[in-house]
Amino acid sequence: MFRIGKQFRFEAAHSLPDLPEGHQCARVHGHSYTVEVHLVSNGELTRPGFVVDFAELGPFSAHVRDHFDHRDLNTVLDASPTSEHLAAYFYQWCRDHLRLPEPVRVEKVRVSETASTFAEYGPDLP
C-alpha cells in the first residue's frame, strides 16, 4: 500500500458565530490555512514510479485559489467554517472532481488553521 500527499495553502477570514458570547473565535479573524490531500493506492506504481503524478491535484489547487484564497469563508461554505467542515468539504470536492486512475483514491483531507491544530476527514478513518 502506498500513500502520497500534497499541501496547499490559502489565506482567509472567518468567524464562528455559534460559539458562546465572548469566545475569541466568534469575532472575525484570519488564518493562513494549510490543506493536505492524502491519496492511497494498493496497485502497482506507474512509470517512473508514481502512485499518480502530483500534477493531477492541479484542479484542486485552482479551486482553492479561486474560491477560498483571500475570501470570507462564512460566505463560501453553507456550514460554519470550522476546520472539520472544511476538511469534509475538501474531501468531497476531491472525490467528486479529481480524475484519479483506479485503484488510487482519496484517503483523507487534513486542514490546519494554525501550526498547532488540525482536523481530518476521511470516510475510513479509524
Ligand X SMILES: Nc1nc2c(c(=O)[nH]1)N=C([C@H](O)[C@H](O)COP(=O)(O)OP(=O)(O)OP(=O)(O)O)CN2
Choose the contact partner of 117 out of Zn ion, ligand X, none; CB within 5 to 8 A by kind.
ligand X
Q: Which stretch binds ligand X (CB under 6 A): 1-9, 56-64, 68-76, 112-120?
A: 112-120
Closest CA to 76 of 59, 61, 89: 89
Q: Rule CB under 6 A: say whether 56 interacts with ligand X.
A: no
* Secondary structure of residue 45 in the 3-state scheme: coil
Q: Which stretch binds ligand X (CB under 6 A): 1-9, 40-48, 96-104, 113-121?
A: 113-121
Nearest approach, Cβ of residue 15 and ligand X (Å): 8
Annotated catalytic, 38?
no
Angstrom distance (rounded) from CA 36 to CA 93: 13
| Residue 114 burial by Cβ neighbours in a 10 Å radius (0-12, 13-18, 19+) | exposed
Please give the sequence-ordered ranges of beta strands (E in DSSP) within the chain, or none if there are none. Answer: 2-14, 29-41, 71-72, 105-112, 119-121
Q: How many of the chain's residues bind Zn ion (CB under 5 A)?
A: 1
Read off the DSSP letter of residue 35: E
Q: Rule CB under 6 A: say whether 120 interacts with ligand X.
A: no
User: In the complex, which residues of this chain contact ligand X (CB under 6 A)?
Assistant: 16, 25, 29, 82-84, 113-114, 117, 119
User: In the complex, which residues of this chain contact Zn ion (CB under 5 A)?
Assistant: 25
